[in-house]
A and B are shown apart, each in its own frame.
Chain A
């Protein structure tokens, strides 16, 4: 079935349910359905093989007096996004699709917290994204709340409930975690039986900030780059991709190539970083040191090409800001050749260390069915047998000009995810070499562009951790709504399945194997939250457990 026929089928189903098709672009279909029928549509899409990407709540009262929720599905084989909109007046109940599509639970809870939407089925669940002492009735993402509103904290609101088994608190302070999050592992002896997660300690209010007067289309790529310290360029690329799709801007080929090259370099550095961390977690510090030594030339290369080791700052709407001349190309190729050789030699040593092999195999298993239900992304999905890769499924930038394999392993344990990343480094090096050879001449940015307001678009980019989704509704001079769904956000619910029955010693490797980047995950709405600076370890035993699925 070709893409055109699929679109026709979707149109037919939507009309049958009483909805309308708003617009069709070459990458996405935007539909709106009456809210009572959304669950049927979600069910039908899910059973036809779509994955849920995310959902975004939007305060559209200034446009049509309603609140809206956009559910974004993706049909991998056709490279098509399907954006389903439902809307309701303030106070009206919106149905949840979480029982048909389990992956939707988190984003619906977030929409509930941030906008005060009444979503059926989620009323009893405690606060997901906002801290417990956030004042009632104050919804950060509503347009009538100023971006620099700061509530006063109230520590008494944190309720205490005694845990039933031995709760082992991991975080927010813990030597192995790089970012603050709170896991509570319920252990029996040395076996983990359950896990409770509470994150969002590092809310920085990026989405709301982008809507405020402080930022314009021009300056948001820099804001996006700082969502994450390791995959920042992915976020800024995804943002400009979404804006360019919304405004139908034609970006010059050379810029697309440069963006792809830098993205792959970021992937290489991120995977090398992760392999070092995985070795460190397992006690093999020599692996950590050597892997980062091998990674150092990549950081230098990034600095040579873009001007900065990490926050590259070369993306702008319509192109890139820095060019690559012949000497830089040649040096890049040399560096990559050396890195490939050293990396190959070292990976042989790393994967032969007996402790690493024994501890990573068979632990943290994520069965394929759970992976599908939770719509996990990235190496987490590819380690469990799902062949999902945005670079192949929804081609963007210059990837169609290169050929590469997507490594997939089906065991679903920590070792599989490790091997996926090991293979991906080799593939990325090869992609960069191909793209450098094929770099076309031309300008690196468009001269000028117009961004008409109230256009919607979805941008998806393959971050080192998985698929990153940005949903944009354009406004005047700055986005009307910008929703970021980082890959780790999608993968954390899978941790609950993976950590069950894992030995405690390997719980950390399991948590690390989804390559968590909590800065990415927690970026949502609340502005310069007082909470994000203070990391009080208050006993957050909420007694909330994810329902066993």
Chain B
């Protein structure tokens, strides 16, 4: 028993001899990743609808959508991204893919931001821009809607519906 107590710490040497050195050579060698690793995302602008589902579901608000005059910008800020992949799960157009990029350090904050710019279609009635053209196009692909109906902004659509409703009751408009 006493001998055991002294010899057991010595077994450390045998364990060390057997395992050798385990330090990996990264960054002088490949990083240690598995196939399930989730890194930064990449958005395919051609497929993106501009629907904003990813923006709704992003926990840290790394994906944001802002509406400017003639366009909508979907901005992806890598600094806030937690690499959860919810956006890729939710995207109806499968435009978001999760890459294995994790070496993302940059010296300039703006370098970490990526944007997808959508042209907004304008309303056939009032002329104001209201929704990304890509979204309209893809929604129409899924559900056949009359083009003239789809190209009207929600405000004008409301007015039109109210008018039609009133007319059917014989109101004088």
Contacts and interface: CB of A to CB of B under 8 A. Distances in A.
B36 A306 contact: yes
B15 A300 contact: no
Q: SS class of chain B's interface: helix, strand, loop or mixed?
A: loop
Interface residues of B, number: 28
B89 interface: yes
Interface string B5-48: 10011011001100100100000000011111110000000000
Contact of B34 (A215, A219, A222, A300): A300
Contact of B12 (A215, A305, A349): A349
B61 A214 contact: yes
Contacts of B35: 304
Contacts of B5: 352, 354
B84 A322 contact: no
A346 interface: yes
Given A300-B32, A313-B84, A352 B37 contact: no
A304 B12 contact: no
B15 A346 contact: yes
Contacts of A215: 59
Nearest to A301: B34
Interface string A265-308: 00000000000000000000010001001001000100111111
B11 A349 contact: yes
Q: SS class of chain A's interface: helix, strand, loop or mixed?
A: helix
| Most chain A beta carbons < 10 A, residue from B33, B36, B57, B83 | B36
Contacts of A345: 11, 15
Nearest to B22: A293
Given A214-B61, A308-B37, A222 B8 contact: no
A205 B130 CA distance: 37
B115 interface: no
A253 B17 CA distance: 45
Nearest to B61: A214
A311 interface: yes
B15 A308 contact: no
B15 A313 contact: no
A219 B57 contact: yes
B85 interface: yes
Nearest to B12: A349
A33 B82 CA distance: 44
Kindly list the 9 A-B residue pairs having the minimum CB-CB distance in the complex, ordered from nearest: A352-B8, A219-B59, A222-B59, A313-B84, A304-B34, A307-B38, A307-B36, A303-B34, A349-B11
